[in-house]
Structure 1
Amino acid sequence: MPIVDLDGIRTRYETVGEGPAVLMFSPGGFDSSLENWTTFGRYKDLGFVGALSESYTCIVFDRRESGQSGGRLERLSWDKYVAQAVGLLDHLGVEKVHAMGGCVGCSTAAALAVARPDRVSSMVLFSPAGGYTYRAAQHKRFHQHIGFVVEHGLQAVVDLARESGAGFSKDPRVGPWAAPLRTDDSFAASYAATSLDRYLAIVSGTSRVLFDRDTVPGVEPEDLAVLDVPALIVPGEDLSHTRSAARYLEECLPDTDYWDVPVAEQTPAASQQRVLEFLGRH
């Protein structure tokens, strides 16, 4: 798969199909690799890439610090995720896209639309992550990682990440930079040499900024309220993808198509048809 340097961060991506572009923000939390659209959770059965690529160009990619993409030891933020997405569009020469997010990818899709509405034709926000229980789980994960670092040090994080193969979502001890620790020796060396105080400031700031509210993180409600980008919202119904998160987006966004059906009725065929119908109108 192609790899491009975007502002110093290695980014792995793939384009599938032909037609108007759909930029697809992967599900999977801190393990948001492009394969998640076909292998992760319910998405492996939903088959969105295969269905959409018959009429659209699907742009899938490893979010920074995920999969085979690189990273940078800095306070992570939704703006930085947006910068990677815009850089990829510029590299591909794509002026405008439909933005589709799954799970936490919905936050970046919405953040892209807020930051660059001129680049987004519409949004598909499928099972957006959010809610009190989601925020609490994310903060707990960061606290567990900080505890491991304080007790064992950063070299132990590097060693564990390379031994276990697990990501931050499954093993909080390895932290949010687990992927580049495995794939980039120079990054791993500089990571291990970082002072503890500096590292804890970066990690604590990341936790506070990324997960700062008890609903969908990433964008301010006032910015959503004035966003002239139509959105299809499909609710989840578990502790990480609460129905309240989807309803929050419906409440804030002025132009929405809310698919009010339980997850059990969001079958692959029905979900593909619903998304294709929405994209076809925009």
Structure 2
Amino acid sequence: MPTAIADGIPTRYEVVGSGPPLLMFSPGGFDSTLESWRTVGIYRRLDLLEQLAARYTCITFDRRESGRSGGRVERLTWARYVAQAVGLLDHLGVERAHLMGGCVGCSTAAAMAVAHPERVRSMVLYSPAGGVKYRMKQLDRFARHLAFVQAEGLAGVVALARATEAGFAADPRVGPWNSVIRADPAFAEAYAARDPDRYALVVNGTARLMFDRDTVPGVEPEDLLCLDTPALIVPGEDDSHAPSAARYLQECLPAAEYWDAPVAEQTRETAPARILEFLDGR
């Protein structure tokens, strides 16, 4: 698959289908790869990508620090994720696109709509990640990673990442840069040589500022309330995709439609059809 340089990050991407562009922010948390649309959670059974590609040019990509995309050791922010997405659109020559986020991808989609409304036609926010238990789970992950760093050092993180294929969600000890460590020997060498105290500041800052609320992270409610971008919100219903997170977006987005369908009724037949109905009207 091709690779673009987006915000200075090598970004693996795929373009399928034809029609208006639809930029898709993958589900999967810190392991958000373009394959996630076919392999993760509810998306395994929805056949979304294939059905959407019949009418839209679907652009999927590995989020930075995921899959085969690159990364940098710096405090991760939603704005950084937006910069990668905008850089990919620039690379492809796309001025304006529909957006679709799955899971944590909803936060980046909403953040892009706020930061670059002129480039967004509409957005689909599918099973947005958020809720009290979601925040607690994320903070625990970062704490467990730093505990391993304190015990084994950054060289220990490199050794562990190379000895396993587990991502940050499955094994927090490997940290959020695990995929880049495996793919790039020069990055791994520099990572192991970093000052551990400064590294801890980066990690603690990432956790505290990215997951600072008990609902959908990433965008301030006042900014969402001023957003005119049409949105379709589809709720989840588990500890990482709390129904309250989807209702929060409904409350904050003035031009939102809410598909009040339980997850059991979100099927291969119903979900793509509802999304296409929304997109086709924009």
The TM-score range, normalised by the shorter chain, is over 0.9
Q: Secondary structure at the match of 2:128?
A: coil
Cα deviation per residue 1:197-251 (whole Å; 9 max; x = unaligned)? 1100000000011101000000000000000101000000000000000000000
CA distance in 2, matches of 1:41, 1:215: 20
- Tell me what 1:251 maps to: 251
CA distance in 2, matches of 1:136, 1:192: 28
Instruction: Kindly indicate whether residue 198 of structure 2 is the aligned counterpart of residue 223 of structure 1.
Output: no
Q: Secondary structure at the match of 1:108?
A: helix
TM-score between the two structures when normalised by the length of structure 2:
0.99
How far off is 1:8 after superposition?
2.4
How far off is 1:91 after superposition?
0.4
CA distance in 1, matches of 2:111, 2:102: 14
Instruction: Kindly indicate whether residue 95 of structure 2 is the aligned counterpart of residue 95 of structure 1.
Output: yes
- Tell me what 2:79 maps to: 79
How far off is 1:84 after superposition?
0.1
CA distance in 2, matches of 1:227, 1:253: 7
Q: Secondary structure at the match of 1:106?
A: helix
Contact 2:82 2:108 in 1 (8 A): yes
| 1:107-256 matches, cutoff 5 A | 107-256=107-256
How far off is 1:169 after superposition?
0.6
CA distance in 2, matches of 1:230, 1:8: 30
Contact 2:5 2:88 in 1 (8 A): no
- Tell me what 1:20 maps to: 20
CA distance in 2, matches of 1:82, 1:138: 20
CA distance in 2, matches of 1:178, 1:65: 8
Q: Secondary structure at the match of 1:58?
A: strand
Contact 2:68 2:179 in 1 (8 A): yes
Flag structure 2 segments of 5+ consecutive residues without an equivalent: none
- Tell me what 1:262 maps to: 262
Cα deviation per residue 1:79-136 (whole Å; 9 max; x = unaligned)? 0000000000000000111100000000000000000000000010000000011000
Q: Secondary structure at the match of 2:159?
A: helix
Cα deviation per residue 1:57-81 (whole Å; 9 max; x = unaligned)? 0000000000000000000000000
CA distance in 2, matches of 1:67, 1:102: 16
CA distance in 2, matches of 1:114, 1:60: 21
How far off is 1:39 after superposition?
1.1
Q: Secondary structure at the match of 1:198?
A: helix
TM-score between the two structures when normalised by the length of structure 1:
0.99
CA RMSD of aligned residues (A): 0.6
Q: One-letter code of the match for 1:251?
A: E
Q: Secondary structure at the match of 1:268?
A: coil
CA distance in 1, matches of 2:268, 2:7: 37
CA distance in 2, matches of 1:125, 1:7: 24
Contact 2:5 2:87 in 1 (8 A): no
CA distance in 2, matches of 1:34, 1:185: 23
- Tell me what 1:271 maps to: 271
Q: Secondary structure at the match of 2:270?
A: helix
Q: One-letter code of the match for 2:205?
A: G
Instruction: Kindly indicate whether residue 69 of structure 2 is the aligned counterpart of residue 69 of structure 1.
Output: yes
Q: One-letter code of the match for 1:55?
A: R
Aligned residues: 282
Q: Secondary structure at the match of 1:137?
A: helix
Q: One-letter code of the match for 1:124?
A: V
Amino-acid identity (%): 65
CA distance in 2, matches of 1:121, 1:165: 37
Contact 2:6 2:85 in 1 (8 A): no
